[in-house]
Chain A
Amino acid sequence: MTGANRIPGAGRLTPAKTARFTFDGKSYTALEGDTVASALLANGVHLVGRSFKYHRPRGVVSAGPEEPNALIGVERDAARQQPNVRATVQEVFDGMKTISQNRYPSLSFDVGSINNLLSPFFAAGFYYKTFMWPKQAWKHIYEPQIRAAAGLGVAPTQEDPDHYASRYAHCDVLVIGGGIAGLSAALAAAKTGARVILCDEQPEVGGAMHYDKSVTVDGVDGFTWAQKTAADLAKMSNVTVLTRTTAFGYYAQNFVALVERVTDHVSKPDRRLPRERMWQVRAKRVIIATGAIERHMVFANNDRPGILQASAARTYLNHFGVAVGRKVGVYTANDSAYEAAFDLKRAGVTVAAIVDCREKPGEAVLAEARSLGIEVLTGHSVIDTSGKLRVAGMSVARNGSTAKRNIAIDALLTSAGWTPSVHMFSQSRGKVAYDAASGAFLPGVYAQDCLSIGACNGTNDLQATIEEALAAGELMAKASGFEAASKVELQAKNAFQWTGGMSGAAEGAGEDTTVKAFIDFQNDVCAKDIRLAVREGMHSIEHIKRFTTNGMATDQGKLSNLHGLAIAAEALGRGIPEVGLTTFRAPYTPVTFGTLISHSRGELFDPTRKTPMHALEEAEGAVFEDVGQWKRAWYYPRAGEDMHQAVNRECKTVRESVGMFDASTLGKIEVVGPDAAAFLNLIYTNSWDTLKPGRCRYGIMLREDGFVYDDGVVGRMAEDRFHVTTTTGGAARVMNHMEDYLQTEFPHLNVWLTSATEQWAVIAVQGPKARDVIASLVEGIDLSNEAFPHMSVREGKICGVPTRLFRMSFTGEMGFEVNVPADFGPAIWEAIRAEVEKAGGCAYGTETMHILRAEKGYIIVGQDTDGTVTPDDASLSWAVGKKKPDFVGIRGLKRPDLVKSGRKQLVGLLTKDPKVVLEEGAQIVADPNQPKPMTMLGHVTSSYWSENCGRSIAMALVVDGKAKLGQTLYVPMPDRTIAVEVSEMVFIDKEGVRLNG
C-alpha cells in the first residue's frame, strides 16, 4: 500500500511502480510519478514545515510551483543536498531523503513556535523598529539570532559535485506552457513548418488537465489528448518539446531563459548527464500560455495544515489518486472549487459542506451539488478554524451574523478565484491592465513580439482558449515567415463555466490587530499587517511590499500579491488599478546557482594564460604568480631557499653575471603602414619621426586628460613598421585605445594595427655577461656596442630561428630581449638557459625584475602611477615632445590642476633604518605627532629589500616630492612610526654606465 489516502482506481500513476523515500527519517512508500507532496499526503502527512516568522505548523497548500509552505531539504548524498525545494514540484525517486526545515527540535514540537504567542511584538516592520539599539548589537546579536530563528533551509557545506549544461537555441516560435492552450498554439505553429520550442515546467504536459478530469478534446480525455499531442509534436523535426523545463526569465528582444531539470527526478542518474541545463532561447516570436494560479481565501487561521487550494486537492485526487482528507470542507468565492467537491464526493470522500461567501453561485454548480447531496451554505463564510497540527474544524457563520456553527473536517479546500500568470508578460516589460470584470490584471500594452493566450490572458472558456491558441500559433508562425497549409481545428468540452472570484480579506479576516488571516504564508504576512503598513504611512504598493515583506519570499507572491494589493487598496480608499501591482522580476521560480554559472567555475571560471616556456619554468621549480590572467614565474627557489633568499640570489646574479627572464607576457602591437610614424606621434607623447629604423625609444602614452596611460619600448623595424610593446596588464586596452583613435579620430591615417602579444616569445637576457651568453647563438647580427648600441633592434637568427633582437634593459644592466616566434620559445629558452648556466647565471622571476627596475627608478605604470599621474609627476617630462603640434593628452597636460604646484610627485624613499622595508600603500606624513586625522602627503608605491644596495629602497608619490629631496618624512604604521628620507629614484649606477656592459 502506498498510503492510506490513496484511492484505488483514482489517478494516473501505476500502482505497481513504487519508490521508497524518507521524510524526517521516517520511511514512506510512494508511486513512481509522485511528488514528495503527493506521496506524503497519500500517507496522511499534511504537516510539512514551520512558518518563517511565527513557526506555525504548515501543510501543503498547492500542487505546483506556487507552493509557499512545503519547502523541504532534499538529500541524495553528503554533497548533494538542496534546501528550500518545493515538495509539490520535487518528484520522488527511490532512496531519496527529505527533511523539514525551520523547526527545532522537531517538526511537531518546535520551540520556535513561542514566536506565535509573542506575535504582538513581531508586527510588520518589527525589525526596523525593535532592534535598533544599541547600534553594535544589530550586527553581533540581533541579526545572527533572527537569522537563526527565522528562515529557510541550510545550504550544503560541500562543493557541488554535479555538473550543469548551458546551450543557446533559436526558434521561430517559443511556446511557454504546455497546457491545452500552449499545445494548441504549438500545434498550429508547427504545422506551418516554423521552428517551435514548447516548454512546460511539469514532468508531463497538460497543465490544468492534471486536475480537470471533465475536459475532452476531439472526444479524447483532455490529459490523454495533451500527452498524445506532445508526443506528435516531439516527432516533428521542427519541434522541440521540453518538459520539466521552466521559463524563468524573459529578457530583451525575445531572449528567454529556461531551466531544464534533467536528473533531479532520477534515482541513479547517469553522471555523464548534467543535473540541470539552461537554455538561452532567442525566439522570433513568443507565445505565453502560462495559465492561472488559484488564490486561497483570506480568513482567520487559514494556514493550518490540511487547508489547501481546491484545484490542488483535485490534482492530488485526479492525477495522483490521493484524497487530501476523509471529511473535507470547501470555502470558496467562485465556482471552480465546487468541482473539487464533486470529484472528491464521487471518489467516496465526505464533503462536510461547501461554504460560499457569495449569495448567488453559478446555477449549474449549485444544481450539481444538490444532485450529489452536498450541503451548500451560500452567503456564509468560514470565520475561523481549529486543530493543532492539522485542521480539525471550521467555524461557519452567515455573512454579517456572529452566530457560528462548528463543522468537523480534516481538510479544507479554498478558492478565492484565479490569478492569471502574467509573470512572463510583465518580465517582457509589457504593461498589465486591470480588468474590473474579472478582477484580474491582464496583459495590456505589449513591449515585445509576444502574445498571451488562454487563462494568462483572461480567456477562461475552453473552446475560446483553443481558438485563441490556434490563431496565435498561426499568426506568430506567419509573422516569422511561415504560412499555414491548412487550418488546425479542435473541438473541446468541459463540465462547467466558472463564475465569481474575489481578492483581499474575506469575512472573518478581522478588522483588529490580532486575527491572523494569512495572505503570504511563506513570509507570515497577514491582512492586518497590510493595514498596519498603510496606517504607518506606506502608500506605495512597493513600500507596502517591503515593509510587510509580502510577496518577497521564494514564491514571489504567486498566491499573495493580489490579496495584498486588494487589502492595501481598501485601506487606502483607492481602486486596485490606482494602487498598482509590484513589478514581476526574474526568476519566475528559484534557479540554482549551478545552472546559472554552468561550467564557469573552478579552472574554467576565468581563462588562464601561460607563456610558451611555462612548462620549462615549472620544471626548474619556478613559483608562479597571477598577473591578470597570466601565470608568471615569480622566483626560482633552489633547494633550501625561501623566497627572500632566492630573490636576493637572483638579484645579485643578474648584476654580477647574467640572468634570463620570461618577458613573453608584455603586450606587443605591430603598427604598420605609410602613416605609422604619424600615428605614433599622435598616440605617444614622444616624437617618432626622428627614430631611425633599427633604433628603439621608450614611449609614454597619455589619456586625453593628460594622465599616464601606458608605457613601453617601441622599436622601428622599418620606415613603415614599428614593434610596439605595452605593459602586460595594458595590452588589450592599449590596443583598444589605438584602434579607437585610428578608426574614429584619425581615420585618414594609413595604418594597420595587429596584436602580436602571443605571436612572440620574449626572453630577456640581462647582466654584464649577457652578450657572452647570446653571442654563440645569434647569427647575422653584430652584437658589439658600436654596431648594436643600447636601444637598438635587429633582425637576424638565433639557433637558426628568426628573431627580432632588442638591445634594451629593464634592469639597468646590458641587456637583450630575444623575440622569437612563440612556438620556438621553449627551444630557444633551453638553448639560452644552457649558456646562462655556463656563465654562472640563473633564471629570474618577476619579483627580481621588480627589484632590479626599482633599483634603477624605472616606473611600472599601474603600480607607481594610478591614473592621476602626469609625465612630469613621474619625472618623465623628457619624453614629452615639446614641439609637437598634437598628441593625445596634449591639451589635458595644460589643465590648471596639472600644471599647478603641490602635485604629488614620484620620488625615492630611504628608510633611516636601512633594514626596515616599508609597506607598499603606506601613507606618508610630515609630522607624526600631529592629531588625527593627519595630513597625508602621499603613499609608498613600490618598496623592496635591495640585496644589491644592502638596504631597503622605495618609491613614493609625495606632494611636492621633488622639492623635498633630503627631507625627513614619516610613515606611521599601527605599531610604530618609520622615519624616511626623500631621495632620488635611482639607487644604483646613477650614471647609467652599466647599460653598456
Chain B
Amino acid sequence: MLLIYCPYCEEERSELEFRGAGDAHIVRPSNIADITDEEFEEFFFLRDNPKGLIFERWRHINGCGRFFNAARDTVSDKFKLTYKAGEPKPDLDAAAPAAALVETYEATESNAK
C-alpha cells in the first residue's frame, strides 16, 4: 500500500484515502463547443500509457477532498512528486537519473542478474 503526499494536507497518507482521477494537464478547451472532431478526440479520448513517468490526477477523497496532481513512475509505482491542481507541470528531467536506477518489473519477473 502506497503512501501519498497530499500537497494540501502537507502530509503523507495511506493510499486508502485517495482515488486516482486519470491523466493530468489535459486542459478543457475554453471554446470546447467549437472545437473540431479531431480536437475533441485528442482532448477526450486519446491518452498515453507511458512506461515510466506519468502525470496524473488524484483526489484525497477520504481526506481533505482536494484534487491534486502527481508525477508517478508506472514501472516502480513510486510517486516522484505531488503538487496542487493548477500548478504548472514540473520539469523532472533532473530526477531522471534516479529513475533509471529503478529496476523494471520485467527484470524482477525473470532473468534477475
Binding site for B on A (CB under 8 A): 251-253, 255, 280, 282, 426, 429, 431-434, 441, 444-445, 447, 540-542, 577-578, 580-583, 704-705, 736, 739-740, 743-745, 747, 885-886, 890-892, 894-896
Q: Is B33 part of the contact surface with A, judged by Cβ < 8 Å? A: yes
Say yes or no: A891-B40 contact (C-beta < 8 A), given A447-B76, A580-B112. yes
Say yes or no: A747-B85 contact (C-beta < 8 A), given A253-B2, A282-B3, A890-B32. yes
* Chain B residue, CB-CB nearest to A890: B33
User: Are the C-beta atoms of A583 and B40 separated by less than 8 Å?
Assistant: no
* Chain A residue, CB-CB nearest to B65: A739
User: Are the C-beta atoms of B32 and A744 separated by less than 8 Å?
Assistant: no
What are 18 inter-chain pairs, A to B, with CB distance below 8 A?
A253-B2, A253-B3, A429-B103, A431-B113, A444-B113, A580-B113, A581-B112, A583-B109, A736-B59, A740-B59, A740-B67, A743-B67, A744-B67, A744-B86, A747-B85, A747-B86, A891-B33, A892-B40
User: Are the C-beta atoms of B108 and A255 separated by less than 8 Å?
Assistant: no
- List the A side residues contacting B107 at CB < 8 Å: 431
User: Are the C-beta atoms of A431 and B32 separated by less than 8 Å?
Assistant: no
User: Are the C-beta atoms of A895 and B1 separated by less than 8 Å?
Assistant: no
Say yes or no: A895-B112 contact (C-beta < 8 A), given A445-B103, A747-B86. no
Option from B44, B77, B108 in Cβ contact (under 8 Å) with A892: B44
- List the A side residues contacting B49 at CB < 8 Å: none
- List the B side residues contacting A433 at CB < 8 Å: 112-113
Say yes or no: A896-B110 contact (C-beta < 8 A), given A253-B2, A282-B3, A431-B103. no
Say yes or no: A426-B110 contact (C-beta < 8 A), given A252-B2, A282-B3, A890-B32. no
Nearest CB in chain A: distance from B10 CB, A: 17
User: Are the C-beta atoms of B85 and A744 separated by less than 8 Å?
Assistant: yes
Q: By the criterion of a CB under 8 Å from any partner CB, how many residues of chain B are at the interface?
A: 32
* Chain B residue, CB-CB nearest to A433: B113
User: Are the C-beta atoms of A583 and B28 separated by less than 8 Å?
Assistant: no
User: Are the C-beta atoms of B1 and A252 separated by less than 8 Å?
Assistant: yes
Residues 81-113 (chain B) with a chain A CB within 8 angstroms: 85-86, 101-103, 107-113
| Distance, CA A745 to CA B112, complexed state (A) | 45
Option from B32, B77, B101, B109 in Cβ contact (under 8 Å) with A891: B32
Nearest CB in chain A: distance from B101 CB, A: 8
| Distance, CA A251 to CA B21, complexed state (A) | 23
| Distance, CA A822 to CA B113, complexed state (A) | 63
| Distance, CA A280 to CA B111, complexed state (A) | 31
| Distance, CA A444 to CA B111, complexed state (A) | 13
- List the B side residues contacting A578 at CB < 8 Å: 111
User: Are the C-beta atoms of A432 and B112 separated by less than 8 Å?
Assistant: yes
Q: Is B61 part of the contact surface with A, judged by Cβ < 8 Å? A: yes
- List the B side residues contacting A432 at CB < 8 Å: 112
| Distance, CA A705 to CA B65, complexed state (A) | 25
- 0 or 1 for each of B52-89: is its CB under 8 Å from A? (1 = yes): 00000101010001110000000011100000011000
- List the A side residues contacting B103 at CB < 8 Å: 429, 431, 445, 447
- List the B side residues contacting A577 at CB < 8 Å: 113
Nearest CB in chain A: distance from B97 CB, A: 15
* Chain B residue, CB-CB nearest to A578: B111
Extra contacts besides A445-B101, A747-B85 (16): CB < 8 Å: A253-B1, A282-B3, A429-B103, A433-B112, A542-B109, A542-B110, A581-B112, A582-B110, A744-B57, A885-B33, A890-B32, A891-B32, A891-B33, A892-B44, A895-B40, A896-B37
Q: Is B9 part of the contact surface with A, judged by Cβ < 8 Å? A: no
- List the B side residues contacting A704 at CB < 8 Å: 28, 44
| Distance, CA A247 to CA B109, complexed state (A) | 21
Nearest CB in chain B: distance from A242 CB, A: 20
| Distance, CA A541 to CA B21, complexed state (A) | 38
